Amino acid sequence: MAKGNELVVSAIQVTAVDGEIEATHEKVSRLLDRAGERGSDLVVLPEVWTGLAYSESELYRETAETIPGPSTDLLAAKAEEYGMYVVGSIYERSNDAFYNSSPLIDPQGSIVGKYLKTHLFDAPDRVDIKGGIRESDKVKAGSELPVFDTSIGKIGVSVCSDLRFPEVYRVLRLKGAQIIVCASAFLSPRFDHWEFFLRARAAENQAFVVASGQYGTEPKSGIGFVGRSMVVDPWGVVIATAPDTECCITTMIDLDFIEEICRRYPLMDQRRPSLYGIIDEEGR
């Protein structure tokens, strides 16, 4: 567990099979035990870790849950058992709407808050995905970028395709995030994009990034995922990477290193916001 500003962080990667939520719960439960036994302070799960539901057009409706619900109850029990924070995304059903939602659960098993994915993966013309993908056909986009002030530091949450939008990470950092998690189902074969985006987001914002991904080929849809969950430090150095298997990776980070990196190169102090007005859509 945490000593001063040192934290133990873990990332879990699995292949979630469409429609097999009970089996996925059992698998994730075992890996959460592994993370907890290692003394993890924070555990990150992949994007829609209960199943992406790509194999059938309406399967996401059956996969979706309320929050709280069975999947968050599982995470809450493990978070309380081991005294750790747990975060990862699932399909959330809220009234008549669906979201790609990432609840953050604290060591008491309570839901601190949740992040609703803001940049949905709409890629209808991807040649490597039969029929393409339009996430916006399933879920609504969120409209907020919250940072959660926790007992282990300030945590920002992102999901998969958010990674391609540097503005998301910059806003989270400007709001004080020291750790930015990325729950992902990043599509193969784009390992090169996955790694350099994570390293860039960490280095340009001088924050730790803890990223977890779906791994392997989902057998019912035939869609493949990069996996390679990783932890990146504020200098852009990869300090832990998952092998090509379902697993839990664990490493230690020291939040004091953020201050040291900012001392070496005070990027945030050297920003010139007056030059960046075009980034604001309303200012175009």
What does the pLDDT look like over 155-182, one tens digit per residue?
999 999 999 999 999 999 999 999 999 9
Secondary structure class of 114 (helix, strand, coil): strand
- pTM equals 0.95
Name residue 254's amino acid.
Answer: D
Cβ-contact 246, 256 below 8 angstroms: no
What does the pLDDT look like over 245-271, one tens digit per residue?
999 999 999 999 999 999 999 999 999
CA 7/CA 150 separation, integer angstroms = 13
What does the pLDDT look like over 149-161, one tens digit per residue?
999 999 999 999 9
**Cα–Cα distances in angstroms (integers) from residue 220 to residues 54, 71, 151, 247, in the given order:** 8, 22, 41, 21
| Region of 50 on the Ramachandran plot (φ > 0 left; ψ -120 to 50 alpha; else beta) | alpha
What does the pLDDT look like over 67-112, one tens digit per residue?
999 999 999 999 999 999 999 999 999 998 999 999 999 999 999 9
Pair of tokens at residue 33: 């035990």
Cβ-contact 180, 207 below 8 angstroms: yes
Number of H helices, E strands in the chain: 7, 17
Pair of tokens at residue 147: 């940072």
The DSSP output letter for 3 is B
Parallel, antiparallel or unpaired: strands 224-226 and 179-184? unpaired
Cβ-contact 46, 212 below 8 angstroms: yes
CA 7/CA 272 separation, integer angstroms = 33
- For the annotated catalytic residues, the residue numbers are 47, 117, 160
Write down all domains in the chain, each with its CATH number in brackets. 6-270 (3.60.110.10)
Cβ-contact 178, 6 below 8 angstroms: no
Pair of tokens at residue 203: 């280095």
Whole-number pLDDT of residue 282: 61
Pair of tokens at residue 93: 């059903």
